[in-house]
């Protein structure tokens, strides 16, 4: 059931975030996603490989007002 809920959240269905944020840093990531979800601007997410930048970008898009538009991720 938890996996199903996480998949729905990752795809933008249900409105929740598939994060269990216990550490202060992860709580900061969740707060940033919540703040940025309805931003009307481009967002640049930087960091090392494998840290969840793509997941965060997709969540911001899928939870925001532009969710009906295509998501275009750019790997720089």
User: What's residue 9's pLDDT?
Assistant: 65
Residue 43: inside a domain? yes
How far lies 31's CA from each of 14, 22, 26, 75, in Å? 18, 12, 9, 24
Task: Flag whether 69 is in a domain.
Answer: no
Does the residue 17 lie in any domain? yes
CA distance 5 to 36: 22
pTM: 0.67
Q: Is 73 part of a structural domain of the chain? A: no
21-61, pLDDT tens digit by residue?
A: 778 888 888 888 888 888 888 889 999 999 889 888 988 88
How does pLDDT run across 36-47, given as a tens digit for each residue? 888 888 889 999
| Structural domain for 57, as ranges | 2-63
**Domain membership flag for residue 48:** yes
Does 19 reside within a domain?
yes
User: What's the structural domain count of the chain?
Assistant: 1
């Amino acid at each position: 059931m938890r996996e199903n809920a996480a998949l729905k959240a990752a795809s933008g269905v249900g409105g929740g975030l598939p994060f269990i944020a216990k550490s202060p840093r992860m709580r900061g990531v969740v707060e940033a996603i919540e703040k940025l979800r309805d931003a009307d601007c481009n967002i640049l997410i930087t960091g090392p490989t494998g840290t969840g930048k793509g997941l965060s970008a997709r969540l911001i898009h899928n939870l925001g007002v532009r969710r009906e538009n295509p998501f275009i991720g750019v790997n720089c």
